[in-house]
Structure 1
Amino acid sequence: MEWITRLMEALGSPGAGLAVALENVFPPVPSEVILPLAGFTAGQGRISLVAAILWTTAGSVVGALVLYGLGAWLGLDRLRRVAGKLPFVQVSDVDKADEWFDRHGNAAVFFGRMVPVVRSLISVPAGVSGMPIAKFTLYTAAGSLGWNTALILTGYALGENYQLVDRYLGWVSTAVLAALAIAIVWFVVSRVKARRS
């Protein structure tokens, strides 16, 4: 928190954008902390509210493009080869996931930007599937703009109580992580049963 505060004090709104870009790639400090803090800082008159929204959205796009590039580098063929060497995973799983992303990728990227944890991860399959970068950037920017605006305005409105945002959205992050963990366990158990039968 102190580092993010110093970053915004030193760089202003671009500092908030830089923090969000880093959060997308290295998420130890979630956007649920950074964005309300930016709103609180704007409420004190130390940065512009509009500039904070625009810079953090730009930071979201830059961070997402890094992960998109990682997915594009990995590519579908390489992912298939990796999947073929993993226990419980089949090459057909990769193909099914790619087909799903081809059908629902636009919505997945747009709405995924508004879900804690998923907001960073969704960029990788977009890159793997070869989603056109212009389309990816557009949906990422649109989804990020909605998410960032909501959290910054909430921090602005709450003032010194801006940390309440992280407290309540922390439950959402925990629920998402729990759902992912349950899905992985279910996947492994179902594959073990299938092998035994």
Structure 2
Amino acid sequence: MSIAIRTAAEPELTGIAGWAVDLMETLGAPGAGLAIALENLFPPLPSELILPLAGFTASRGSFTLPEVLAWTTAGSVVGALALYLVGALLGRERTRAIIKAVPLVDVADADRTEAWFLKHGRKAVFFGRMIPIFRSLISVPAGITRMRISWFLALTTAGSIIWNTVFVLAGYLLGENWHLVEPWADILQYVVIAAVVAAVAWFVVKRVIRIREHRRAIARGEATPGGM
């Protein structure tokens, strides 16, 4: 049975919003779950758009609020688990081999990151589910370090329930104004992107300075090539 999300008085939704509506018209609440699972695998698909739209659809009676919350959370867990398995298949040694080929990055950086994740991984997985971009990426190091799967699923589910509920409820309560959520979500995403860019820039500057100092030490005979 087709779900009547759009009316003649409403503008035709296009792009990602139109695609998400088509999924929900075809599959109902499971369509929202599928869209969120794909969003985990392909971060450019914004959950901040899909979730409020799913909440709005629930407010129209196309499916119930508990249904959409259950299916979107299931979609989040399935997508995260797929990326966890990618990390597990990639493994520690392949990751180190890839890192060796990346300019300005050495294996010691990977070791420090791994040590940090082993110490703080549970918090990272839980809170990472509520941070744009990291929502997807955090699953990969969890797989590489072989975080206990029961912990990974429990923390991913808990974090996803919080994130999904906030945005689905916003769309549900705002009704036809569900799209007002998107600008605020965009601000959060821009803040995260700016923080990541700043962190990467700081890392590159520090590493370039370190390499230059090492080369000067070699020239003075105070260090040997390869020792950083």
Question: How high is the TM-score relative to the length of structure 2?
Answer: 0.84
Segments of 5+ residues of structure 1 without an aligned counterpart are none
Which of the two has higher C-alpha Rg?
A: 2
Task: Write the letter of the residue equivalent to 1:98.
Answer: E
Alignment of 1:65 with 2:81, yes or no, is: yes
What pairs up with 1:8-27 in 2 under 5 angstroms? 8-27=24-43
Match for residue 69 of structure 2 among 19, 41, 53: 53
Runs of 4+ deviating beyond 4 Å: none
TM superposition shift of 1:71: 0.9
Alignment of 1:40 with 2:56, yes or no, is: yes
Aligned residues: 197
Which position in structure 1 is the counterpart of 2:5? none
Which position in structure 1 is the counterpart of 2:133? 117
Q: What is the aligned-residue RMSD (CA, Å)?
A: 0.9
TM superposition shift of 1:29: 2.2
Deviations 1:57-79 (A, max 9, x none): 00000000111111111111111
Deviations 1:30-88 (A, max 9, x none): 10001000110000101111010000000000000111111111111111122222221
Deviations 1:170-196 (A, max 9, x none): 011111111111111111111000011
Write the distance in 1 (CA, Å) between the matches of 2:102 and 2:27.
45
Task: Write the letter of the residue equivalent to 2:86.
Answer: L
Write the distance in 1 (CA, Å) between the matches of 2:27 and 2:101.
46
Segments of 5+ residues of structure 2 without an aligned counterpart are 1-16, 214-228
Higher RCO, 1 vs 2 (CA within 8 Å, ≥6 residues apart): 1
Match for residue 154 of structure 1 among 148, 170, 188: 170
Match for residue 186 of structure 2 among 158, 167, 170: 170
Query: Equivalent residue of 1:27, what SS?
Result: coil
Task: Write the letter of the residue equivalent to 1:142.
Answer: A
